[in-house]
Structure formats: C-alpha cells, structure tokens
Amino acid sequence: MTAVDTLVQRAGFPVEFDGEEGALVTSAPLVFNRVVRTKADIAKVLVDGGGIPDDTHLYWIFQLADAGADQQRFEATETTYACVLLPSRKVGREYVKTQGHYHPPMPGTTIEYPEVYSHLFGDIYLLLQRRAGQRPEVIEDFVILDMKAWGAVTIPPGYAHVLINASDAPAAIAGIYATSFKPDYHPFVDLGGAAYFMVDDAGESLIPNPRYERVPRLRRPAPGSDPAFLAPEGAEQLWTSFLENPERYAFVADPQAALEKFGPMKELT
Ligand SMILES: [Fe+2]
C-alpha cells in the first residue's frame, strides 16, 4: 500500500498533503480554506525569533468550506472539520508548533468546548494543559500525547492545546469542533506560550516556561491509558466516523450532550 493509499484510508476521503508548500489537494466536491500561520503571527509564543524571516510559514490550517452532499450533516450539528499540517521546521532551537489556545465555555454552562483530534500522518505531539480556574499562570495538569500512538484523542473541556512536530518530516492531524465559538489565544500570548517548550537540545527536550507560577510535572500517558482523553470509537477515521453517526460527536457542540458526557464542571473562580 502506498503512502497516498494509506492516507486516503486514514482521512476517509481522497487527499494529498504537501508538507513543503503547505498544500492540501483534494477533489470536488470537497473544498477547504487554507489559513497560513507565519512566524510573525505567533511570535509572542516562541522561545526566541530564531533568526528566520517573519514571513516564514510555520504551519497551515485547512478549514472545511464545503463538504458537498455531506455539508448538511455538518451544518445540522453546528460542527466542522479541519486539518492542521506542520512541516519539519525549527525556530531557533524550538521545534515548530501551533500557537495554542483555550476554548470558551459552552452557552449556559461552565463546560469549555471540547474537541476531537485524529492523527493523519507523521510524528506529532499534542500538548494539553489545564489552568486553575481563571488563573492561566497556574497549571493543574500538563500532558503530552503522542498522536501517532494514540490515533485519536478527545480534548476534554478546559484543556488548552498545542501541536508540535519535532520530527524530520511533515505531520498532520484532523479535528472536529463546534462552529459556534472562537478560540481564546490571550492566555498563551500573555504568558509567552504553553507551560513547557520543546527544544532541540541534542534531541527533544522539554523546558519549563518561566512565566508560569506553578506547573506540575508533565505526564506522558501511554496510548489509551487515560480515559479522560479517549476518543469516540472509530475516531481514527474521523471524517467517516462523523458522517456515519454525527450523534457520536454531539458533545463537541451541544451543551446538553457535553453535560451528559463530562458532567457539570466546577465553577470557575
Ligand atoms: Fe481548539
């Protein structure tokens, strides 16, 4: 089986990625909008400028714009699908990463919107951190998941998320999330990034971000070992799994379904 065949299996639709040019190639009726994130866009969360031009592309987001006949399934559930592609790149000694963000609470609840990520190809880490109430400088839980090993992950309410590619090849994931919110980037901008940075120090090394007041020891749960991050069954092929049964993913957009899955969250203080 060729790499492209494998990816079609994984994605659930015919798609090719170009991890050098930052392109996603698919065929009608599927349409994706491409969003570029440059070094300048995420400068505030980088360890340093790394001496590369501000307009260097660091990663690309491909947001579903039209799913053809399946579009109605996404719209009916106020859900959408996107892919994130990271090239093999470093900014100075820091491995390429996404900006990182939290999600706001779902309407009428204290449950912050969850999300589901699914591995497409390459070696890619997912960093997750949960803050103490409204104090973003105090972290209660910090987790690194190997996306390739996990396959698919639920990002539970309250966890900010960052993707890192520390490998020598491009890597990508797909995600399912609600259309009704905007990510909150402020805590990461204010604190200069997540609670840990991954840098090349003769190999992968995690260094704490000194701007945080309190950070627990990071955890690296083995695939499937922490039920909090388990994805719905079949989420390894996220596209197909969603279209076969959108109800399985109702918790990403529907507050009632999220309440049933996650229970009432403690009040934010
Ligand atoms: Fe997100």
Task: Return the structure tokens found at 45.
Answer: 């969360």
Distance 102 CA to ligand 1 centre (A): 7
**Composition of the chain by helix, strand, coil, percent to 5:** 20, 40, 40
Work out the mean pLDDT of the chain and round it to a whole number: 94
- Distance CA(127)–CA(138), nearest Å, equals 16
Contact 67, 6 (CB under 8 A): no
Bridge partner residues of 198 (DSSP): 206
DSSP state of 41: T
CA nearest neighbour of 107 among 256, 246, 249: 256
Say what the pLDDT of residue 9 is. 84
pLDDT in tens, 70-119: 999 999 999 999 999 999 999 999 999 999 999 999 999 999 999 999 99
Domain range summary for the chain, segments of one domain joined by +: 3-262
Task: Return the structure tokens found at 159.
Answer: 């966890």
Residue bearing tokens 């990508």: 172
Which residues, chain by chain, have CB under 5 Å from ion ligand 1? 115
Distance 115 CA to ligand 1 centre (A): 6
| Gyration radius of the chain over CA positions | 18
- Omega before residue 107 within 30° of 0, cis: no
Interval 49-55 mean pLDDT: 88
**95: burial class by Cβ within 10 Å (0-12, 13-18, 19+)?**
buried
Distance 153 CA to ligand 1 centre (A): 12
pTM > 0.75: yes
Distance linking the first and last C-alpha atoms of the chain:
53
Bridge partner residues of 139 (DSSP): 131
Domain 3-262 has CATH 2.20.25.90: no
- Distance CA(243)–CA(231), nearest Å, equals 16
Distance 100 CA to ligand 1 centre (A): 8
Residues of the chain with pLDDT > 90, as a percent, come to 90
Kindly tell me if the per-residue pLDDT of 4 is higher than 90.
no
Kindly tell me if the per-residue pLDDT of 205 is higher than 60.
yes
Kindly tell me if the per-residue pLDDT of 6 is higher than 80.
no
User: Which of 11-15, 125-129, 238-242 shows the lowest mean pLDDT across its residues?
Assistant: 11-15
Kindly tell me if the per-residue pLDDT of 267 is higher than 60.
no
pLDDT in tens, 135-156: 999 999 999 999 999 999 999 9
